[in-house]
Structures are given as structure tokens and as C-alpha cells.
Structure 1
Amino acid sequence: MAPWQPLSAASRETFWRSLQTLNATRIVIALVLLVYLAVDARHGQGFSRLGGAVYGQTCVAYVLAALLFAGITQRWRRRFLWQLCCQILVDITVISLLYLAAGGARSGLGLLYLFPLAGAAILAPLVLALFSASLATLFVLAESTYQIFISDQEPPLFQAGMTGAVFFAVVLVVSRLAARLIGQEELAARRGADLRVQQAVNRIVVDDAGDGILVVGSDGFVFSGNPAARRMLGLDSDSDFRLADIAALEPVAQAFQAWLEAEPAETYVTVKRWQDAAGPVRGRLDQPVHLKLRFARVDTPDGEAERSVIFMQDVSAIENQAQQLKLASMGRLTASIAHEVRNPLSAIGHATSLLAEDLSGPAETRLLRIVGDNVARVNRMVEDILKLSRKVQPGAEPVPLGAFLAELKAEFTETHGLADHMIYIGDAGPRTVRFDGLHLREVLVNLLGNAVRYASGKPASIRVFPVLDATGRVELHVQDDGPGITPEVRAHLFEPFYTTSSKGTGLGLYLARELCLNNGAMLDYEYRVDGPAGFDAPGRFVITFTI
């Protein structure tokens, strides 16, 4: 791999680091040779008697040259190939002088040629590395040939030839290995650059996404989240935390834990108002949000790190938009519904009553009862629609919750013929709320009616109790020990004309929420359960009042 070919910045940096390593190795070798000279001179033998002065001066010059090369490489990172060529040429020249001063091939210093040749094979093109090997080989062969004329002993020509062959073999092998490694590094650098670009694109997409995204561990520890997720959860910072550490986010933690235990990968939760300006995770949520959660596992190699992704969608806006569209259509219908629907219904009901006096057969009676039930159902739907137009001007006034709930329980129990202990009313104390009394009665009657339909009928199977949320606002919880509402039904719970009962109109809960909104309150259904021990309730309706 030729260093002048186009390379990535990472590969070029690797070449310069390798050259700096070559400089450090050169300094170490020169110092070792000086130590070798000192030890040999102390024993008065070896080449120190022959060329010790030349040897020592050459080693000192070599150390100084190595320091100079190291400084140049550190300070001036230009002309890589020229710096390398100069250093290799100096290495071969110095080693040749030491080779001569030590007595030629018998000194064993020919192995020092492998150091610059290996460096050239790694950092220089193959042609330049082979040229360096040929210079070293020619010098070794020339020195052995010269010994023929000046020495009585037979020079080791065969050893010199084998040394030259080793030089070329080392250069070829090391050059091929280095080229392969450099190619792999260049490929890794390109893949790394592509990965960084892809990560930047993903970061832009995730940050700009309208849905919230959280990356969490198996213990609920949040590693990262996009701005939409922080906005939905009311988080002010990017600090890491566990979902269970924030009380307001416990519904999300419970839903995640339920999914880990093989529950459905989609659910709905309500995150209530919360604020914490002093804790490790600062944040504030001014309004409760209703979130649709989806979970997905991250496939990691060999399961090294268990990661999951929580996708959050704020469905409150979607629900409100759907309701507003239906309300707009319903508003156009309301103007004519009194005359166009109620009058025919009255006529049908009157005719049914007259027919019931003349027809007494079981088949006729059954058919008339079906007609009467459906007339009553349509009339109830008309009444609910008309109530929507009559709720525009609420008479909000302070309502003492304790007395109001006690009176409502007595009236509702008597009207529906319930046992007195079936409905439990929690202690409201001196708390008061601003709400139109008639509207609040209608909302609670609707919620209690639904609770009676699904509750078990045991003592305190229906519970109504007020609490304070994290921001000091009064909440009224209505829950029963029935089977609860599935996430699929929860997605459409407050939509007009949506019902799961054959006898319902689908307007009760919608009207209840509209009445709450008209009084500045909020009605929602949440799955979080923190009621009294022994009370099995999978969810509850929550009315949040204004302060």
C-alpha cells in the first residue's frame, strides 16, 4: 500500500504514528549498541580493539540523528515519503559503518539491517522497500568480496548471499502483510465514516420525529431519549435515570415491566402532572398526557446488552381532534333534531302504547317490547345530544366534596336499589372544588352507572375517593373491582357514539368528559393502581379539578 495513494485521515494518522514508533525504536537500538560497546571495552575484547572509536562515534551520531528525526516527525507532518527515505538511508549508512567497524559478517551485526528494511516494507511502496533491500545486500556482498583481496581467510560469501536473500524475503513478506492490514484499516475507516454519517442522519430523524422514543435497559434505566419523549414526559434535562425513580412515570415503568413479562407490545397509560426542580432529574408536566406505548427489543450481537425501545405517542390530541370532528357533525344535527326526531319518536311511542292495549298475544307483546325499547334508546340518545348544547354556560361554584359525595351516594343507592355498603366514599375532609353542581352530579352518576354494571357487588366494590396530585390539585378517583377496560377499548373510550354495550348510546362518557372540560377539569382513565391493599382494580376514572 503506497502512502501517497488517497487515504482516509485515520489511515494517514496511522502512518505518522508508525513513523514515530520507528524513531523511538531507532533511539533504543542506538543506546543498546552503546551499552554493548561499553561492556565489550571493559573486557578488552571483540571489535572494541579494532574499531571501537569509529563504532562509538557512529553510535553517538546515530542517537543524535534519531532524536532529530523524532523531533522533525513530531513538529512537521509533511512530506512523509521524503522523511521516510532520508531516515532509511541514514539507517542503512550507519549500520554499514557499524558493520565495517565490528569486523564484517563475523560480527553478526548484519541482522540490524532488518530494522530499517522492515520499516521500509511497512511504510514505503514495495519498489522503494526492495531498493533498500538491494542496497543492504550489495553492501554485504561488496564487503565479503573485498575481504578476498585483503584477508588470508576465506570470506563467508555464502553467508553474505543468504543474508541478502533473507533481506528480500523479509521485505516481500512484511510488505504484503502490511498492505493487507492497511487495506483492512482503510476499509474500517470508510465503514466508520459511513456509520457516522448514518448516525447523524438517524439523530436528525429521531430528534425531529413527532413520536417520543426512549432507549431503556431491562431494569428500566433510560439511556437516551429524543426531544419529543422529553416533552411528553415533562423532562428538562438529558440526564440518565430509571423510570421507577420518578413517581409520575411509574405507569410507564409498570407497562414496560408488564411487556417484559410477555404482555402485549402496545398499551395506553396516563402520565399525571408532576414537578421536581431539586431532584437529580428536573422536570415539570403541567397537564396530564395520555400516551400510547409500543415496545420493541433491540437485536444486539450475542445478547451482549439488553436494550429495548419505547415508542410513545400522545393520543390526547388525536382523541380531541376525532371528538371535535364528530362534534362538528353532531352540532349541525342538533339544530333540527328536536323537531325532526323527537316528534316521530313520540308518535311511534304513542302508537306502540295503543297497540299494546289491543294486542295480547305473546309474539305481538315481544315485538311491541322491542319497538318500545328501541324508541327509548333513540330518545335517550336525543336527550344526550341536546345536553351538549345546554352545557355551554356552567355555573361554576365552590362545591364541598364531602357533603356532595355523601348526598350523591344516598340518592344513587336508593334510586338503583343498591346495598348501602356497595359504594365506599373516601374521606374528603374540608376540600372544595369549583364545578357546576348539576354537571358534577351528572358526571358522577354516569361513572357510577358504568361501575354498577361491571362491579362484583361485594362491600366497597365501588370506591370514590379524593386525593391530591403532585401539584396540589384535587383528583376524584372512581374505580370498581370489575374486569377493567382493555387498551383497545381505551383508545376509543371517550369518542361519541362508541359503545361496547348493546343498550348504550355511546354518548355517556363523551358527555361526561365534555362537561368536565367545560368546567375547567379533566376526565381520564388510567391503568395505574395504588389503591388500598386487597382491592383488585385494574384501572380507574380520574377527575382532575382546577385549583
Structure 2
Amino acid sequence: MSAAASIAIERSRLVSLHFLNLFRLVLAGLFVVAGEELGLGSEMPAVFRVVAYGYVASALVLGFREVAGYLGESRAIALQAVIDVAALSLMMWASGGYGSGLPVLMMVMLAGVGLVAEGRMVLFFAALATIAVLIENAWRLAVGDQPVDFLKVGIFCTGFFGIALIARLLASRAQANASLAAERGEALAKQQAVNERIIRDMQDGVIVADAKGRVLQSNPQAAVLLGMTASAAGSLEGLQLLDVDPVFDELMCGRHPDGRLLRIGPGGRLMRCRVVYGEQQGAEGGGFLIYLTDFEDIQRGLQQTKLAALGRLTASMAHEIRNPLSAVTQAAELLRDEKRGEMQGRLVRIINDNAHRIERMIRDVLALGRREQALPEALPLAQFAAEVIEARAFSDPAERDLYAIEIEPSLSFAIDRAHLHQILDNLLANARRYCSGKPAAVRLHAVALAGERVALHVRDDGPGLDEATRLHLFEPFFTTHAKGTGLGLYIARELAEANDATLELAANGPGADFVLEGRQKP
């Protein structure tokens, strides 16, 4: 048993003992003041008065905690129980026997003792009361002044043991419940302390507010992230969120429950704010929980990652440029010495092809550098896709029949115009390269999704992609085309992410199916 459980049981016993002493004192006072009026002490008034006054004195003396501390709690309880049995037995003898009703008071006293006594002592007190009642009735039978009904006496004596046992069982159950409650309370207190420590030390800010926006609780990190002074950390309690920053009005109204990036607080720090609303949102008793995540630290980490990736990209690019540059140099050397016109034309084509390859590679890398300049706008998908196809088919009108557009005119896509043009042009070029060449070999169709989102599919009827190719498809400089740079799909995905969109390859099927998913409105 834990220390907390022992303390709880001891406190429960002290409370029960206090009320038992109070009842004993009230009962003794009643005997002194109104005992004779109640018909008690009718046979021996003097003995009754002496016992009543003695009972009052014992109740007063043993009721003090100092006496219980001096004698010991168990001894004090035992002494009180013996005095109760003795006093009530003498009063019963002076009042005409069991007919006075005093055995019923013995049962009450035994029930009270059963709540505070320990172990088998309760049975000892019940046996003591039984012996006292039997002796008193045996004396009356021996004297012969009145008949004795031993059936009623036996019922009283049986009741002593029954009351004592029931009281003890109830006390044991109450102690067990108190012990269990104390142990669970102790475990809950430890868990609460751990939770408070975790919330206090966590890097995210946590704010608990009521339905009116008044802060009920917060951790110190919330005040730090909002730009409060270090001494004011933890002082958000009681403040109105709108007084801290009016931007909290958007969060309180439930317009962005899934979280969004906001510059919030006096410090103007960029944070991701996520709100968890109570069940009674908007009601008087409702409230919400706000999590604040420092996004500037995340951005710094992402920037470091991007710089590292840019370093690898630069190294890979230098390696990739070396091959066509070597071909250009070698072709130029041969061209200087070559006299035949046919061979000169071939060398010139080699120079032009590799020069164009280097130019495409540099153009793609420059496009990657412009990904942060995205200016999203709601572009009509069907119309924009038709314009991109018209631009591709300008030099060869017959190519227009390769593409089939199945997009509802009402669907739009929130994205930068130049970025969408480059993404679509790359996807269409890949689809054109691997399709069968039949009419409608490349299909463009769009599907409206939940949450005002849209998915644009670009599917061809080519042979599709094997599993090994799918694993590396979006990696830089990975290509299956002899004249490709390997940057097209990598740049396309980067531009999509710059516009809060995604570019993925759908499940393998007949041909390749690229899915561009994003919002319909900026």
C-alpha cells in the first residue's frame, strides 16, 4: 500500500472516530439531562446518575486527540468500546433490563466501533456486550423479581455479532475504496506532472482558450513564439487573443482548422497555426486549442537541405555538361580538317544537337531557380490545355489530332501561368514521345476533388513504365531518352510544389498516367 493510500485510510478513520466521539458525547449528555424523563434509572436512580455522569466524563476526556495520541489510537478505541459496553450495561441494570431499549443503543455503538476498530477486536467487543447482557439477565433470573425472555435476549446477542461484522465489512470495503482512490489519485498526479513538464518543454506553443477568445492556459513557448518578453512567458492567461493579434479572428472563426502559415504576434514570426475546436464550438461553453509551430526554423532547415541538394545538382550538372561539350569540341576539331561536304554537314549537326542539349539543361536549371516566384491565379484548365497543344502543333498541324481534351469548362487550376505551361509542355512531350501515334493517343482529363481541389491527368497509350524506372522517375538527370537532359520531370515536380500542388505517376496501367493535383482557387 502506498503512502498516499495509508494517509487516506488514516484520515477516513479519524473522521469516523471524530463523529463517533461526538455521538457518544451527545448520548451521554442526553442521559444526564433527560434520562429520568425517558424512564431510565427507574429501579436505581442513584446508580443511573453516577454512571451517566461518569459516561459524560469519559466521553469528554477520551474525545481529546492528545489523549488518543498518548494512549495510542487502537488502545483509545478499545477503552472507549469497553466503557460503552460497561456504561450501557449498568444503565440497563438500573433501568429494568433489556425492556429499557438500551441494548439497541449497544448495537449502534458496536456499529460505530466496527467502523474504526481493526481486525478481530470488533468480535471481542460484540462478545463483551453479549456477556454483559447475559449476566444482567441471569442476575434477574436468580433474584426472581421478574421473568426473563431469553428468546429476545438471544436475538439481541445475535444482533450484536451481526451488526459488528457488517460494520467491519463495510469499513474494510470503504478502506479498500479509499486506498484505490488514493493510489489512482497519486498515479494521476504523477501523470499530470509528466504532461505538464512535456507541454512546458515542448518546442511548439500551446494555447487553450474559451469560446470568446480568452486564454485559459498556455505554455511558456507560446509566449516566446508570439514575441512576448521572456519575463512575460506564461503570462498569456487571462488575455484576449484579439488583443495579442487580430489575425487570431480567422482561427477563432474556424476558417483554417487544418492549419495555415501566418505571421502572428507582436514578433511577426512566421508560424503554422493549427486549431482543434471543442464539441460546442461557438456555444457559450465551447473553446479551442491552438498549436503554434515555428515555421521559420523549419524554413531554415529546408533552406539548408536545398543548398545541399543544389550543391549535388551543380556537381551532377557539371558532369552532364562535360559529355556534350566534349562532343562539340571534338566535332569542331574534325570540322576544321574535314574537306568533304557530307562529313562537314554531319559534324555541324553534332555541334548543333549538343549545343541545344546544353541550352535546354541551362534553361531547366534557370526555371528551377525561378520556382520561388510563383504567382498563382485561377486558370481555366480546358482553355489553357488547348492553348498549350496549339503552341506545340503550330509547326505541324497534324500533331493536333494526337491529343484529346476531356475537361469540363468550369474547372480551373490555381497555379502560376508560366509554371503550368512548362509542366504541361513537359508532360505532353513525354507522352508524345512514347505514345502509339494514333489519333487521341494522348488524353487530358480532369476530375474535381473534395475541398475545392482538382486533379489533371495526362495519359498516353504507350508501353508504360517498369518498376525500376518508376522508382527513379523524378530524380534529376535520370532519363530513358538518349537526347534527354533528365531534368524535365524533376523541374515539373518542383514547379508544382512551388504552387502548393503535387505531381505524381498514377498506378501502372496501359501507358503512363501523370496526375497534377492542386487547388481550384488561389
Per the normalisation by structure 2, the TM-score is 0.58
- 2:30 pairs with 1:37: no
Look up the equivalent residue of 2:15 and give its one-letter code. R
Contact 1:55 1:98 in 2 (8 A): yes
Q: Which residue of 2 aligns with 1:258?
A: 254
Q: Aligned equivalents of 1:487 and 1:323: distance in 2? A: 30
CA apart distance, 1:507: 12
Q: Which amino acid aligns with 1:266?
A: D
Equivalent residue, structure 2, for 1:176: 169
What pairs with 1:87-98 in structure 2 (closer than 5 Å)? 87-98=80-91
Q: Determine the structure 2 residue equivalent to 1:545.
A: none
- Taking the aligned partners of 2:27 and 2:211, their CA distance within structure 1 comes to 54
**CA distance in 1: counterparts of 2:81 and 2:493, whole angstroms:** 96
Superposed displacement of residue 384, structure 1: 8.9
Q: Supply the distance in 1 between the matched residues of 2:149 and 2:497 (Cα, whole angstroms).
A: 109
Displacement of 1:143 after TM fit? 0.8
Deviates further, 63-72 or 306-315:
306-315
Give the Cα separation in 2 of the matches to 1:503 and 1:16: 75
- Output the CA distance in 1 between the equivalents of 2:363 and 2:82: 106
Q: Which residue of 1 aligns with 2:384?
A: none
Secondary structure of the residue aligned to 1:39 is coil
SS at match of 1:125: coil
Q: 1:239 to 1:51 in 2, by over 3 A?
A: farther
* Alignment-derived partner of residue 443 in structure 2: none
Aligned to 1:24: 22
- Count of paired positions: 369
Identity of aligned residues (%): 26
Distance in 1 (CA, whole Å) between partners of 2:21 and 2:236 is 45
Aligned counterpart for 2:237 among listed residues 235, 240, 245: 240
What is the match of residue 158 of structure 2?
165
Specify every segment of 5 or more residues in structure 1 that has no aligned partner in the other structure, as ranges: 41-45, 275-285, 349-367, 388-442, 457-481, 489-496, 510-537, 540-547
Q: Deviations over 1:46-102 (max 9, x none)?
A: 445532233223222222221222212687398322221111112112212222222
CA contact (8 A) 1:140 1:160 kept: yes
* Corresponding letter in the other structure for 1:269: L
Q: Which residue of 1 aligns with 2:505?
A: none
Cα distance change on mapping 1:14 and 1:271 into 2, 3 Å = farther
Contact 1:223 / 1:240 at 8 angstroms: preserved in 2? Answer: yes
Between the aligned partners of 2:150 and 2:191, the Cα distance in structure 1 is: 61
User: Is 1:248–1:271's contact at 8 Å kept on the other side of the alignment?
Assistant: no
3-state SS, counterpart of residue 234 of structure 1: coil
Q: Any conservation in 1 of the 2:115–2:171 contact (CA below 8 Å)?
A: yes
- SS of structure 1 residue aligned to 2:203: coil
Taking the TM superposition and a 5 Å limit, the aligned residue runs for 1:75-114 are 76=69, 79-114=72-107
2:303 equivalent to 1:323: yes
Q: Does 1:268 pair with 2:260? A: yes
CA deviations on 1:231-260 (whole Å, 9 max, x unpaired) are 222353345346544251633x5235326x
1:295 corresponds to which residue? 276
| Conservation of the 8 A alpha-carbon contact between 2:247 and 2:264 | no
Does the aligned pair in 2 maintain the 1:121–1:178 contact within 8 Å? yes
Displacement of 1:380 in angstroms is 8.4
Instruction: Report 1:384-403 matches (<5 A).
Output: none
Letter in 2 for 1:322: L
Query: Displacement, 1:185?
Result: 1.8
Secondary structure class of the residue paired with 1:58: helix
Of the two, which has the highest radius of gyration? 2
State the distance in 2 between where 1:78 and 1:256 align: 65
Aligned mates of 1:96, 1:502 — CA distance in 2: 102
Per-residue deviation at 1:306?
Answer: 5.5
Match of 1:58 in 2: 51
Q: 1:267 corresponds to which letter in structure 2?
A: G
Distance 1:114 1:95 in 2: 11
Separation in 2, partners of 1:185, 1:13: 10
Match of 2:138 in 1: 145
CA distance in 2, matches of 1:321, 1:99: 90
Between the aligned partners of 2:284 and 2:177, the Cα distance in structure 1 is 25
Matched, 1:198 2:191: yes
SS in structure 2 at match of 1:258: coil
Equivalent-residue separation in structure 2 for 1:501 and 1:192 (angstroms): 59
SS of corresponding position for 1:76: helix
Change over 3 Å in CA distance of 1:104–1:323 after alignment to 2: same
Q: Give the SS at the match of 1:199.
A: helix
How many Å separate the matches in 2 of 1:293 and 1:35?
Answer: 73
**TM-score of the superposed pair, with normalisation by structure 1:** 0.55
Offset at residue 317 of structure 1 (A):
0.8
In 2, distance between residues paired with 1:112 and 1:21? Answer: 16
Residues 256, 295 of structure 1: 8 Å contact kept = no
Determine whether 1:187 maps to 2:180: yes
> 2:294 is aligned with what amino acid?
D
Go from structure 1 to structure 2 and tell me whether the alpha carbon gap of 1:304 and 1:121 turns closer, same or farther (over 3 Å shift): farther
Check conservation: 1:212, 1:225, Cα contact below 8 A.
yes
1:211–1:312 CA contact under 8 A, matched in 2? yes
Superposed CA deviations along residues 339-358 of structure 1, whole A, max 9, x for unmatched, are 9979x99x99xxxxxxxxxx
Are residues 197 and 6 of structure 1, via their aligned partners in 2, closer, same or farther at CA, if it must alter by over 3 Å?
closer
Distance 1:503 1:72, change over 3 A: closer
- What do the CA deviations read for 1:401-436 (whole angstroms, capped 9, x no partner)? xxxxxxxxxxxxxxxxxxxxxxxxxxxxxxxxxxxx
Distance in 2 (alpha carbons) for counterparts of 1:256 and 1:232: 19
| SS across alignment from 1:291 | strand
Amino acid in structure 1 at the alignment position of 2:270? V
Judging changes above 3 Å, is the alpha-carbon distance between structure 1 residues 28 and 382 closer, same or farther for their aligned structure 2 residues?
same
Unaligned segments of structure 2, at least 5 residues: 329-351, 381-412, 417-450, 454-486, 500-520
1:149-172 per-position Cα deviation (integer Å, ceiling 9, x unaligned): 223321232222211111111112
3-state secondary structure, aligned to 2:145: coil
**CA RMSD for the aligned pairs?**
4.8
